[in-house]
Structures are given as structure tokens and as C-alpha cells.
Amino acid sequence: MACSYPPTNATIALVTALQALRITGEVITTPYSFVATSHALLWNGIKPVFVDIDPHSLNLDPARIESAITPHTTAIMPVHCYGHPCDVNGIQRIADNYNLKIIYDAAHAFGVQDAGGSILRYGDLSVLSFHATKVFNTFEGGAIICPDEKTKVRIDQLKNFGHVGETTVVAPGINGKMSEFNAALGLLQLQHIDSALACRQKIDEAYRLKLAGIPGISCIQGSGECVANYAYFPILVHEDYFLTRDTLYNLMKEKGIHPRRYFYPLISQFPMYRGLSSAHPDNLPVALDISQKILCLPIYPDLEMSVVDVICQLIANPC
Ligand SMILES: *Cc1c(COP(=O)(O)O)cnc(C)c1O
């Protein structure tokens, strides 16, 4: 597996990955993600086609992909949401049948492995984010993971203005290079990544234990067969909880706790997307329902267990 020099950030990496594979027309993607996933398509003049998610993995539902394919479809861009792997084999089967490329937005998936190794080996390309909010960060940064040297050469050209040598330019490339300063920060962070992941795992386990049995609260389960990265701690706030999701969210903020509503609203609800026929709420009932219930609780390596206790006690007794 050849890793290109890391780009400026995952957004530029997604834009460049689409260009590296010469993707055009329509691309099938998930509405349940950070907006950069779809923006990368618009920046390439590509039409996003939204397909609903699976209610358990919260990733693109392969069973719904086929009916969204048209003669203009050239690729699928799924997201390993929260670092939980997509149904990579189901998606690959569809891509093979219809001759489509797959670019994984793997922004959340640093370090995640299945039985065969890194999940970044699936699809044609995978894109990581090293933004400050991600598990491994360079403050701003990202990477494109590609399986062959030829594609890597093209990616390296596209992120360096399209230059080949001093006097030749072969493509309208962009300045997508990572700065040396960001790279140096990343090298320092890499020294501590194993202990950071171990701390996250402990916090994840503590949350699951302490939140168990609270009526109306459920924790999202990752795939048991994976080496996880504990990038997020998503819970669902159901109708039978004491408060609405947003009342709980505001109450926590008042107490100085800062959960995030990843992902609310759906990408398909933003003004530049909502006119698309695939963005209609009737097409995306699962994603819409989850976006109204989701809350990601604080998780970071030096989050103290006493604070995890306070957060869980507040959720258990909010009134
Ligand atoms: C963070 C994120 C991005 C964008 O990453 P940047 O490095 O900030 O450009 C793209 N997709 C997803 C799913 C993300 O969470």
C-alpha cells in the first residue's frame, strides 16, 4: 500500500482523490457525514446522490445503493462513520457489478482494523483527516491511501500544481501539500498514539458501563470483530428519555460539558443540496431519524474518569 505525501487536509484530499480517478457525473454518497464529504463532489462539478444509511452501523446501506444507480453514476463515496467500518464487501460487490469506483471518506478511521488488517485497504482510495478534532492529528492535515504506485504518482502531481519536473505541467493541480510544520507535529503525536488509543478505550468502556440501563439512552455499538479507535462516543436520545435531545444538549452546555450533534443537520438539508431529488426527507428516513437523536459525548485521552462520572450522572438525573 503506497501512501501519498499527506495533503493539506482531508477536504483537499477528497477533491484530489476524485480527480485522480477522473470521477465525473453522479456519485452515490451518504447524507450522514460532515459536509466536506459532499462539498468535495461539488468542487469537482459532480452531482451527489444521497442514499440512506443502515440503522445499526449508520453507514451507507448497500441494499439501497443499487436503485440509486443511473447511467451517469461513476463512483460510490461511503464514510466509515465514527471509525466503524462500512459493509465493505457488500459495497465492493455492487461496484464490481456496475463498474464503479469506490473512494472511502475514512476521515474517522485512523488505526481501525478488521481481521485482515487496516480497513484503509478497501475500495480504490481512502482519505484520512488529521484535523485537530480527529484521533490522530497534525492540527490540519490528511492523507490519501492508494494501492498502487501509478495512482500515487498522479496524486502527487495533482497536489503539487500538476508539476512534473521544473518546466512541465501535466494537470491543473492544486497546492495541496502538507506543511513541514504540520508534519513535524504529526511525527510527535505518532509517538503517543498507542497510549492515546488505550485511554480512549478505557473511557469508552466506562461510558458504556455507567450509561447502561438509563431509560431512553442507547450507545452505538461498533463492529465487535474490529480493532476500533474509539474516535467518538455516540449515543442516541430516544423519545422515552426524560428530555429531548436538544434540551439535554443545552443542559450539558450550561454545565460546561460540550457534546456534539455529529451529524445534525444532514448534509442533504443544507441549502446547496436540499433541491436534489435524492435529498428529499422521504428518501432518507433512517438518516433523518438518527440525526434527531444523536449526541456525541466528550472523549479524548486525558478526559478524567471523574468527569465521565459527572457526565453520566447528569444524563441519568437531568432534572
Ligand atoms: C473532519 C472530516 C472531513 C474533513 O477533514 P478536514 O481534514 O478538516 O478537511 C471530511 N469528512 C469527514 C467525515 C470528517 O469528519
Architecture of domain 2-190: 3-Layer(aba) Sandwich (3.40)
Find the 158 Cα to ligand 1 centroid distance in Å: 19
The pLDDT > 90 percentage for the chain reads 95
Mean predicted confidence (pLDDT) in 282-299: 98
The pLDDT > 70 percentage for the chain reads 98
Mean predicted confidence (pLDDT) in 249-273: 98
Indicate if the pLDDT at residue 265 is higher than 90.
yes
Spatial CB neighbours of 43, under 8 Å, sequence gap ≥ 6: 15
Q: How many other CB atoms sit within 10 Å of the CB of residue 190?
A: 11
Distance of alpha carbon 299 from the chain centroid: 16
Mean predicted confidence (pLDDT) in 222-247: 94
Cβ of 80 less than 6 Å from ligand 1: no
β-bridge partners, 236: 218, 294
Place 222 in a pLDDT band, splitting at 50, 70 and 90.
confident
Cβ of 312 less than 6 Å from ligand 1: no
Top mutation candidate among 8, 9, 11, 59 for ligand 1, by most atoms within 8 Å of CB: 11
**pTM exceeds cut of 0.95:** yes
Predicted local distance difference test score (pLDDT) of residue 7: 82
Predicted local distance difference test score (pLDDT) of residue 6: 67
Atom of ligand 1 nearest to the CA of 12: 9
Query: What residue type is assigned to position 167 of the chain?
Result: T
Residue 217's nearest CA partner among 247, 254, 242 is: 242
Indicate if the pLDDT at residue 3 is higher than 80.
no
pLDDT in tens, 134-190: 999 999 999 999 999 999 999 999 999 999 989 999 999 999 999 999 999 999 999
| Domain layout of the chain by residue ranges | 2-190, 193-316
Predicted local distance difference test score (pLDDT) of residue 223: 76
Architecture of domain 193-316: Alpha-Beta Complex (3.90)
What is the Cα–Cα distance from 204 to 196, expressed in whole angstroms? 12
Distance of alpha carbon 142 from the chain centroid: 12
150 given a catalytic annotation: no
Spatial CB neighbours of 136, under 8 Å, sequence gap ≥ 6: 110, 111, 130, 186, 189, 190, 193, 196
Query: Pairing mode, if any, of strands 73-77 and 101-105?
Result: parallel
